[in-house]
Amino acid sequence: FEKMRLDHGLMFRQFTRQYSIATSADLQEVPDAHLLLLCRFLALLDDAQLKVLRGALDLRNGCGHPSDYSPDTLKLQAYYADIVQVALSNPNLA
């Protein structure tokens, strides 16, 4: 994460938080949005994949917090298809 913080590129320049990760349990303390940025920084995701996963994260967060939004069946199918295609079937993330 330190290298991300020091990167001068547009994508990472606002990354200011530091984490110490020694175990898999430590990863659970890192916000999902920061994990996505880390995967992009490490070139495990490209820009298009990052965009898809950020959209999925936004949808998940929108449904998980108190709101009246409830996605329909087609939206959920597309959501899961994106997750499987971009994350679960990605050999870089295996």
- Residue-wise pLDDT for 7-61, tens only, equals 656 677 667 777 888 999 998 988 999 899 889 888 999 999 999 999 999 999 9
Instruction: Say which residue, 66 or 28, is predicted with more confidence.
Output: 28
What is residue 8's predicted lDDT score, i.e. its pLDDT? Answer: 55
Are 19 and 26 contacting, i.e. CB atoms less than 8 angstroms apart?
Answer: yes
What is residue 94's predicted lDDT score, i.e. its pLDDT? Answer: 82
What is residue 42's predicted lDDT score, i.e. its pLDDT? Answer: 86
Q: In terms of DSSP H, where are the helices of the chain?
A: 2-6, 24-27, 32-41, 47-64, 73-82
Q: How confident is residue 69, by pLDDT bands cut at 50, 70 and 90? A: confident
